[in-house]
Structure 1
Amino acid sequence: MGRNSRRARTSRPGTFDPSDRTRVKHTKIGVWDLYEEIDPARAHVPGASYAERAFAAYECLPYLARMIRDICAIRSCWFLLAAYALAEAGQALLPAASLWYSGQLINILQITIETRTVEADALFRVCVGRVACSVIRRILNHVLSELRGPLARRLKAQYSLHLFRARARLDLPTFEDPLVQRQLEDASSTSGSIAYDTLVMGAGIVSTLVQVVSQVSVLASVLGAQRDGILLALLSFATSMSDWVTRWNVFATEQVWAATTKDKDYIQMTGMKYVVNNMEHRKEFITGNLAEFMTKEFKEVSERVGPDNAVDFNELRRASRNRQRFSFFGLLQDPLRELPQVVFTLRSIQHPASMPVSLASLNLLQQTTSHFSFTVWRFFDQTSSITEQLATIRKLYEVANIPNRIVDGKIPFPEDAQKIRHGISLEFRNVSFRYPGSDQLALDNVSFTLSPGQLCVIVGANGSGKSTILKLSVRLYDPCGGTILVGGHDVRTLRLADLRAAVAVLFQDYTHFPLSIRDNIALGDPERFHDDARVRAAAALGGAADFVGRLPDGYETHLDRPVRDYFSGLPEGTRTLFGREIDFAGVRGAGGMASRTGGPALSGGQMQRLAVSRTFMRSVVGEDARVGLLLFDEPSASLDPTAEHDLFARLRELRGNKTMVFSSHRFGNLTRHADLILYMNDSTIVEAGTHDELMKRQGEYARIWMLQAQAFL
């Protein structure tokens, strides 16, 4: 299933246009229209497409070599890899050993017929050898089974770390790019098994080659002395081999195709199924009294579609392919398989005395052919996906080389760590910016200057550009025009790690990590992640300590527990399990198993206090010379007026000399204390000044201030 899902996509350049009849073949399958790309390579020099695919596979070989080096570098895998290789080698040689013992039985039979005596010792050794091969095969199968699990887990852990590191290093514009998301998705879908699959594929190919070579060698020695032995072998193998060779293509590539249906009845029938099966429509379904009507309508639509067409596309396509496989050559293959039996019968008539030996040889040959054909088929099956496997390895490694769009600067910051105690200056000079994929400016020629230690409040309606100023200040994005200066330096020239270590940010669209409350707060300062006292102090300053203390698990409470609880059918009255509420909406198919989602029901204000506490963890707890600029984006949006007043009071008291920038759409007590107020509208700064200055101007700021103030009169 995993392989098929990966093949549904292709990174092949160009476009696929179903309406282009010169490059796309159209086939009608039931109610479905199938469009298949006609390979453009067929129009060029014969064999050019194979050479191109072979060269593409060759370009992937360095990534395969790197994967081999990475696997060998995992010390915990050394013993497992050695044991796995030995077990595979032993298992590959066992069929040839069994075949050799079978040949010895034929020799004993021939001697017995000629001399009328049985070599008991030789017969006993053969029997013991055959039994030993069976026992060893069972042991090796068990050993391989025991080794696969630990190997797969170690390789999965190694490449989970690889993928985690590759994702973690991406900046925001790069991570938001749909093409990058697709690349990450492709790599993620294979990261857990690609290394293990490659290891198993490589071992399987080598093992199969060993089996083929060893069995052919033994079979040639066993049947070489038999009358017509080689002829019987060739006839037995030819039919099976021709079948598999016609299907094998080591440089196979996935065909581009698409399918759709325009049948209104089928679309309506499928839509009705969705309505009746999904919870989201159940309220309207019941209150609209739709049960009887929809059932009657569904019956009529189903009859119009017909039972042969009322199935999904994949089922119809499989049936169509099965019909296409019926051919004249296919009819001949079964009679050809009977040729060895015909040759044996004719030779038995000519030489009746050799019939027992010939019969034993034929039986051995047929058994060997069956096993040998399966072995050869497995080899073809393994090698047919080599190009795909190599391409997947390349994807897995290339994801770690995705270039970031925010280019790191070279200048260390700050030059003097002590100066940061007195805040960091911030200046925007004619800055304009539009978000990726948008035609509208989020900031239009914005300029302002904020001196070290000043308090700036940016006010305005939602969408006016307030949050964008904060995002550009820490280089989540780079402006389209203009210059941003932090501490007197062009922000583009500063080391990103240094810049972000000197700035603490709380965004309006904050998130909570699927970790414990303690970890959520502690991540505000990774360098002090394990300092529990600091975590509790930050929670107290953020106003979260009281409600966290009342939770059953306190700071170890998970807002969204990342590891689910699984359970089978439970008694009807069960509502809690392991001290947590059960979410029966998580029930999934087989076995009645279900997983719990969610966490304690916290209010929006409580969730925001946790986010504020995380920001306090690094910015204002204790004497911290590393942070000189505090950016708060709507920090009180979910707080009631009392909590908002308390928050602003704590911020003013605890910020010390740090520079602080607030954005808010509510005009409150904080603006009275601001050194600079920026009133924004439509991506530009309309007014700038202190509260008293803006009130005297009687402009937009004063008008909205009075409107909001009247609400409390």
Structure 2
Amino acid sequence: MTATEKSADVALSGSKEFSNDKPVVSEYGSKKPKREYRFREERLGVWSLYYPITNSWREYLPALESLWVLYDMAKSLPIIWAFVLETLSLGPIFFVAYFISSTLVGFLPAFQLYNNSNTLAFIESTMTGKHVDREQFRQIAISYFAVFSAGLIFHKIEAYSRPILQQRVSLHFKQRLLEVQSRIDLATSENPDVQSKTSRASAWFASPWSILEGLASLLAVIAEAPYEQQSDRSWLTYNDFDGIFDALPLLAFAWINIRTGGKSDLSSLVLIQQATSSLQQTLFGMIYGGNNIANLFKNVMSLYDVLELKPTMVDGEIHYPEEGHKSQKGMAIEFKSVTFKYPMTDKVILKDMSFSISSGQLCVIVGENGCGKSTTINLITRMYDSTSGEVLVDGRPLKEFKLSTYRETTSVMYQDYQHLPLTIHENILLGRPDCPNSKEGVEEAARLGGAFDFVQKLPLKFETNLEPQQTGYVNTWEDDDEEEKNIFQKFIDSQKATKLSGGEWQRLALSKSFMKNSEKVRLLCYDEPSASLDPKAEYETFERLRQLRGGKTMIFVTHRFGHLTKHADLILYVKEGSIVEKGTHKQLLELDGEYAKVYRIQSQAFED
């Protein structure tokens, strides 16, 4: 494997993050002196390692960097305090037990040092022929036993309370993150800055068994050697102070002897050496660990930034449907000069689009790939707001309706079906979790979606988990008895994924869509519902869907003409973001325009 290296000069000012090679000042950046950075990139297989090459005072006096770390940490203390209070509320007893035990464990070395000093003084007194005090020895032994017992108790309390508290904190904030992700709108969630914050916040609560930890450790080992080479070139590093700390005990002992007139004993020297060693470890731990603590503080601040995210899409106040439309079948939809481009992009997707769909109609949107068909569905369901123009529902601007009540009346099936690691029954039931008879409802939805027959052929039928999560590992040996092997084999079988074809996955998606088809639903939207179905399954699916017409407004997005377009009340032909033709199948054929041209191309394949 060969490694290529290249250097890039980049100027950094304050705390900065990089996106597409464009520096963006971080929200928590402090006004630090400007530093000039050069990065050396080294390629190791699929990995890119970056090593900073600096010529600033930070390279020669890295310990002073801790001052800025402490400054950043001080600014984040209010957020940290809020985090502590929120954590305390999750389990006051476990919280107090954990932090008190952890704090007391930190004092144990000091008590141990005191006992060692008394023991050395006692031994010295005994060896020099001075008076032997048995009571003093008994007190020293009791003190040792007390410190040992206290350490054992505190460690046990810490070990017991820590995993409970850690799990509660993790589950609590994971739930809050899920609430945020379900609360913010699609445009906000796709913002790169929001994605960066949510990914950092989510990663902070990642599973400790994550493979990423192993990869990070591996990269740390690989990067360690170049770091050592770089630190050797520094003028002053933390290791350069080792000599001072080595000489400090002797200097202190000599100074004490001068002050006491030579009355200090050897136990004092040992005590000073141990105290100096402990001080050295503490100071270096604070300096080296400062960055880690600062990063932890930044993670907590990022977490609370995410928890306070608000959707950019303003919710309406009117409940849907309104009183005058509750008896209406379906919903009426109208686009008035709608233009749209996705957030943070300049490309116009829809251009001055206008059309009207009456309540209860079956509408088919056709056109070439990338012309804006799926985007039209996104605006109808208000995943996004139009850049200009208006989307009307039942004669009122869609923005005025409360989103939660509006989306309760819509059912959308997208091309990319998301199957959760649950049973087939549970996945279909997600279409309508409040179904009174879930078993019968799920089976009926599976029949309508065309999934019932192949699900019945699976070993566990509707209780099959198609994509189970790995929850454990099993090793078996030849001398294991048959009962243990059978138990282990059942566990192994339960962890295996079930392979389905593209058409079978699409039938499950259709089944979930049919599951949501309750009396409350007024709009059914299908984005390429038959893309992976064979002709027979496609025909049967469309026939079942057509039976719903009249009672609900139905919108289909497709590039395949045939069964559906012939029976549509309205066909919208979209080209480059604009509607160039609209009407029924018969009307568009008589028009002999774009629709008729594409229809003849598709039908010619069957006629030839």
TM range (shorter): 0.7 to 0.9
Q: Distance in 1 between matches of 2:533 and 2:551?
A: 26
| AA of the residue aligned to 1:633 | D
Q: Distance in 2 between matches of 1:12 and 1:547?
A: 54
CA pair 26-79 structure 1, distance change in 2 beyond 3 A: closer
Residue 438 of structure 1 and its aligned partner are, at CA, apart by 4.3
Structure 1 residue 427 and structure 2 residue 334: aligned? yes
Residue 58 of structure 1 and its aligned partner are, at CA, apart by 4.4
Residue 539 of structure 1 is aligned with which of 421, 446, 451?
446
Q: Distance in 2 between matches of 1:156 and 1:658?
A: 43
| AA of the residue aligned to 1:315 | A
Residue in 2 that maps onto 1:172: 186
CA pair 570-446 structure 1, distance change in 2 beyond 3 A: farther
632-641 or 550-559, which deviates more: 550-559
The SS at the match of 1:527 is coil
Q: Distance in 2 between matches of 1:492 and 1:117?
A: 93
Residue 666 of structure 1 and its aligned partner are, at CA, apart by 1.1
Q: Tell me the alpha carbon deviations over residues 611-635 of structure 1, each in whole angstroms, 9 at most, x when there is no partner.
A: 111111112x5xx1x2111111111
The SS at the match of 1:566 is coil
Q: Distance in 2 between matches of 1:404 and 1:60?
A: 25
Residue in 2 that maps onto 1:480: 387
Residue in 1 that maps onto 2:95: 81
Structure 1 residue 399 and structure 2 residue 310: aligned? no
Residue 247 of structure 2 is aligned with which of 336, 341, 348?
336
The SS at the match of 1:441 is coil
Whose helix fraction is larger, Structure 1's or Structure 2's?
A: 1
Q: Distance in 1 between matches of 2:471 and 2:67?
A: 49
Q: Distance in 1 between matches of 2:508 and 2:377?
A: 20
Residue in 2 that maps onto 1:600: 498
CA pair 403-373 structure 1, distance change in 2 beyond 3 A: same
| AA of the residue aligned to 2:16 | R
Residue 467 of structure 1 is aligned with which of 342, 353, 374?
374
Residue 156 of structure 2 is aligned with which of 128, 142, 162?
142
162-171 or 86-95, which deviates more: 86-95
Residue 321 of structure 1 is aligned with which of 227, 231, 251?
231
| AA of the residue aligned to 1:174 | T
440-449 or 33-42, which deviates more: 33-42
The SS at the match of 2:434 is helix
Residue 535 of structure 2 is aligned with which of 641, 645, 651?
641
Q: Distance in 1 between matches of 2:94 and 2:401?
A: 47
Q: Tell me the alpha carbon deviations over residues 59-101 of structure 1, each in whole angstroms, 9 at most, x when there is no partner.
A: 4233222212211211xx2222232244235434444444444
Residue in 1 that maps onto 2:144: 130
| AA of the residue aligned to 1:24 | E
Could you state the TM-score of these two structures normalised by the residue count of structure 1?
0.68
Q: Distance in 2 between matches of 1:30 and 1:683?
A: 45
Residue 134 of structure 1 and its aligned partner are, at CA, apart by 2.4
Residue 392 of structure 1 and its aligned partner are, at CA, apart by 1.9
Q: Distance in 2 between matches of 1:360 and 1:533?
A: 83
Residue in 1 that maps onto 2:211: none
Residue in 2 that maps onto 1:495: 402
Q: Distance in 2 between matches of 1:543 and 1:49?
A: 65
Residue in 2 that maps onto 1:412: 319
Residue 415 of structure 1 and its aligned partner are, at CA, apart by 0.8
Structure number with greater Rg is 1
Whether the 8 Å contact between 2:448 and 2:514 is mirrored in structure 1 is: yes
Q: Distance in 1 between matches of 2:276 and 2:248?
A: 11
172-181 or 636-645, which deviates more: 172-181
Residue 604 of structure 1 and its aligned partner are, at CA, apart by 1.2
CA pair 62-129 structure 1, distance change in 2 beyond 3 A: closer
CA pair 373-707 structure 1, distance change in 2 beyond 3 A: closer
Residue 24 of structure 1 is aligned with which of 31, 36, 44?
36
Q: Distance in 1 between matches of 2:69 and 2:121?
A: 49
Q: Distance in 2 between matches of 1:669 and 1:434?
A: 32
Residue 446 of structure 1 is aligned with which of 336, 340, 353?
353
Q: Tell me the alpha carbon deviations over residues 305-349 of structure 1, each in whole angstroms, 9 at most, x when there is no partner.
A: xxxxxx9655223223145368896585377246349839988xx
Residue 544 of structure 1 and its aligned partner are, at CA, apart by 0.7
Residue 483 of structure 1 and its aligned partner are, at CA, apart by 1.0
Whether the 8 Å contact between 2:415 and 2:527 is mirrored in structure 1 is: yes
| AA of the residue aligned to 1:151 | L
The SS at the match of 1:651 is helix
Residue in 2 that maps onto 1:160: 174
417-426 or 470-479, which deviates more: 417-426
Q: Distance in 1 between matches of 2:278 and 2:345?
A: 62
The SS at the match of 2:323 is coil
| AA of the residue aligned to 1:549 | Q
Residue in 2 that maps onto 1:610: 508
Whether the 8 Å contact between 1:522 and 1:529 is mirrored in structure 2 is: no
Structure 1 residue 188 and structure 2 residue 202: aligned? yes
CA pair 460-155 structure 1, distance change in 2 beyond 3 A: same
| AA of the residue aligned to 2:512 | R
The SS at the match of 1:678 is strand
Residue in 2 that maps onto 1:233: none
| AA of the residue aligned to 1:706 | R
Whether the 8 Å contact between 2:185 and 2:313 is mirrored in structure 1 is: yes
Residue in 1 that maps onto 2:552: 658
Q: Distance in 2 between matches of 1:683 and 1:562?
A: 41
The SS at the match of 1:422 is coil
Q: Tell me the alpha carbon deviations over residues 548-571 of structure 1, each in whole angstroms, 9 at most, x when there is no partner.
A: 111112112223223355345999
CA pair 60-435 structure 1, distance change in 2 beyond 3 A: same
Whether the 8 Å contact between 2:117 and 2:270 is mirrored in structure 1 is: no
Structure 1 residue 559 and structure 2 residue 559: aligned? no
Residue in 2 that maps onto 1:669: 563
Q: Distance in 1 between matches of 2:502 and 2:594?
A: 30
CA pair 133-529 structure 1, distance change in 2 beyond 3 A: farther
Q: Tell me the alpha carbon deviations over residues 77-136 of structure 1, each in whole angstroms, 9 at most, x when there is no partner.
A: 222223224423543444444444455556757877999532222322222222332233
Equivalences for residues 67-466 of structure 1 within 5 A? 67-74=83-90, 77-102=91-116, 104-105=118-119, 116-192=130-206, 314-324=224-234, 330=241, 332-333=243-244, 336-337=247-248, 339-340=250-251, 343=254, 358-379=265-286, 385-416=292-323, 419=326, 421-466=328-373
CA pair 531-146 structure 1, distance change in 2 beyond 3 A: same
Whether the 8 Å contact between 1:458 and 1:677 is mirrored in structure 2 is: yes
RMSD: 4.1
114-123 or 148-157, which deviates more: 114-123
Whether the 8 Å contact between 2:569 and 2:584 is mirrored in structure 1 is: yes
Q: Distance in 1 between matches of 2:499 and 2:370?
A: 29
CA pair 33-601 structure 1, distance change in 2 beyond 3 A: closer
Residue 685 of structure 1 and its aligned partner are, at CA, apart by 1.3
Q: Tell me the alpha carbon deviations over residues 677-697 of structure 1, each in whole angstroms, 9 at most, x when there is no partner.
A: 112222221211112222222
Q: Tell me the alpha carbon deviations over residues 250-303 of structure 1, each in whole angstroms, 9 at most, x when there is no partner.
A: xxxxxxxxxxxxxxxxxxxxxxxxxxxxxxxxxxxxxxxxxxxxxxxxxxxxxx
Structure 1 residue 707 and structure 2 residue 601: aligned? yes
Residue in 2 that maps onto 1:690: 584
Residue in 2 that maps onto 1:308: none
Structure 1 residue 64 and structure 2 residue 80: aligned? yes
Q: Distance in 2 between matches of 1:694 and 1:553?
A: 49
| AA of the residue aligned to 2:503 | G
Residue 518 of structure 1 is aligned with which of 422, 425, 435?
425
Whether the 8 Å contact between 2:506 and 2:532 is mirrored in structure 1 is: yes
Q: Distance in 2 between matches of 1:104 and 1:54?
A: 38
Q: Distance in 1 between matches of 2:532 and 2:178?
A: 33
The SS at the match of 1:414 is coil
CA pair 119-529 structure 1, distance change in 2 beyond 3 A: farther
Residue 151 of structure 1 and its aligned partner are, at CA, apart by 2.1
Q: Distance in 2 between matches of 1:50 and 1:377?
A: 11
| AA of the residue aligned to 1:470 | I
| AA of the residue aligned to 2:231 | R
Q: Distance in 2 between matches of 1:552 and 1:531?
A: 21
Residue 484 of structure 1 and its aligned partner are, at CA, apart by 0.7
Determine what percentage of the aligned residue pairs are the same residue.
33
Q: Distance in 2 between matches of 1:465 and 1:379?
A: 57
Whether the 8 Å contact between 2:367 and 2:575 is mirrored in structure 1 is: yes
